[in-house]
């Protein structure tokens, strides 16, 4: 009987999210990356949760590089002039549907931007097709808008501008205006929502436009286990897409809060709390990673010190063992099981926690494309094109 029950469990196993990534390693930006990533997530239905009606998903999303080719075109329709690439930031907002609340939030955000001596360029209503949504998803759907802000001339591109945008976002978030910022960056943007896997592409008109070019794309289909599905809790977060759970999250989050007095930043003095303990485990992990990255720790190093591989009693390079031993005094492991994709818009990486219980497979193709997913077979790739796996 036990053997039969085990077989039934395995046949009906459905307890983890789905993840995928497509990257042009040589940096080429094109729509093929976007399309392939959407194809991957559309193949991950078995890893996506849905409600009893079968019409509302737990959440699906995609993280992309900002496409100057695309946004210059659509911003011009709003009389917004986007000059050079990386000289502006874009925010993706989930506002309240209530017009009064929304207008208050809009005005406050604009004021915060201007108070930071940043030029506010304007808003854009994101085109969407809500007729495809299930009833519950439509009832709680936010008002979706994008904003454009110009990089001040005295602020350097890349990390210095990202720090400024981070500070703007954190100041706005402290006001609790029933508004969620999916992303606010000069490098990346997140499209997500309470979708079934096939609805992501169909809902957002931007994702159907072949002028949207990116060299990096991360996708995620959510199977909610310990939090209620919502538009905000869909993945990717601002830097990660996460398959699994952080089962040490209670200790991790409270340790981060306890470090308030010793985590001195040379860039910020009033951005606490670092993590929002009301968020999901993935959102809290994203908060912590973002804080480390914004404060100058390279992305891959931050991930290694938060999610170390087994190192104490295994044969690994001595310099790597020394690295883990040193940082173990500063940061306890964020333990899963978890497979995590991460990106800052310049790099994309993936990591398994030390339990190694979440799957991740990758191919590198002869055209310098990386394809990674929580399972094989998500894209039909001829074997002769695969140079490494």
Give the ranges where 174-223 is alpha helix by DSSP (H).
Answer: 199-203
Per the CB < 8 A criterion, the answer to whether 299 and 349 are in contact is yes
**3-state SS of the chain: helix, strand, coil percent to 5?**
35, 25, 45
On the CB side of 57, how many CA atoms lie within 13 Å of its CA? Answer: 30
Enumerate residues 6+ apart whose C-beta is below 8 A from 222: 17, 48, 49, 57, 58, 59, 60, 229, 233, 234, 235
Distances (CA, A) of 229 to 136, 183, 214, 300: 11, 19, 28, 29
Q: How far is CA 298 from the centre of its chain?
A: 17
Per the CB < 8 A criterion, the answer to whether 355 and 373 are in contact is no
Closest CA to 216 of 194, 188, 244: 188
17 counts as catalytic? yes
Give the SS3 label for residue 110: helix
Strands (E) located in 172-246: 180-185, 188-193, 216-221, 240-244
**Phi/psi of residue 123, each to 5°?**
-110, 155
Per the CB < 8 A criterion, the answer to whether 348 and 218 are in contact is yes
Per the CB < 8 A criterion, the answer to whether 242 and 338 are in contact is yes
Per the CB < 8 A criterion, the answer to whether 20 and 40 are in contact is yes
Give the integer Cα–Cα distance in Å for 186 and 65: 9
Active site residues: 17
């Amino acid at each position: 009987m036990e053997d039969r029950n085990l077989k039934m469990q395995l046949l009906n196993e459905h307890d983890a999210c789905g993840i995928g990534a497509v990257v042009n390693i040589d940096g080429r930006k094109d729509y093929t990356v976007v399309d392939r990533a959407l194809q991957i997530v559309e193949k991950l239905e078995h890893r996506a949760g849905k409600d009893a009606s079968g019409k509302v998903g737990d959440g699906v999303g995609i993280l992309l590089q900002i496409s100057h080719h695309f946004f210059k075109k659509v911003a011009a329709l709003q009389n917004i002039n986007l000059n050079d690439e990386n000289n502006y930031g874009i925010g993706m907002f989930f506002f309240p549907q209530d017009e009064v609340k929304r207008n208050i939030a809009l005005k406050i955000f604009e004021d915060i931007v201007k108070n930071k001596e940043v030029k506010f360029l304007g808003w854009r209503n994101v085109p969407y097709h809500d007729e495809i949504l299930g009833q519950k998803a439509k009832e709680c759907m936010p008002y979706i808008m994008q904003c454009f802000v110009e990089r001040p001339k005295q602020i350097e591109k890349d990390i210095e501008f990202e720090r400024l945008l981070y500070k703007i976002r954190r100041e706005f978030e402290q006001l609790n205006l029933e508004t969620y910022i999916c992303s606010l960056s000069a490098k990346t943007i997140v499209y997500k929502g309470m979708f079934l896997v096939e609805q992501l592409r169909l809902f957002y008109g931007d994702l159907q436009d072949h002028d949207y070019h990116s060299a990096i794309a991360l996708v995620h289909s959510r199977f909610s286990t310990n939090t209620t599905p919502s538009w905000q809790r869909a993945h990717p977060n601002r830097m990660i897409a996460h398959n699994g759970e952080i089962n040490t999250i209670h200790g991790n989050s409270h340790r981060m809060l306890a470090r308030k007095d010793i985590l001195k930043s040379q860039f910020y003095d009033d951005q606490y709390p670092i993590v929002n303990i009301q968020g999901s485990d993935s959102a809290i992990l994203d908060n912590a990673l973002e804080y480390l990255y914004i404060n100058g720790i390279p992305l891959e190093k931050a991930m290694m010190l938060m999610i170390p591989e087994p190192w104490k009693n295994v044969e690994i390079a001595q310099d790597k063992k020394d690295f883990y031993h040193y940082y173990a005094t500063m940061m306890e492991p964020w333990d899963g099981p978890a497979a995590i994709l991460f990106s800052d818009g310049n790099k994309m990486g993936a990591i398994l926690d030390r339990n190694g219980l979440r799957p991740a497979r990758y191919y590198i193709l002869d055209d310098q494309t990386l394809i990674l997913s929580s399972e094989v077979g998500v894209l039909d790739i001829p074997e002769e094109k695969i140079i490494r796996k």
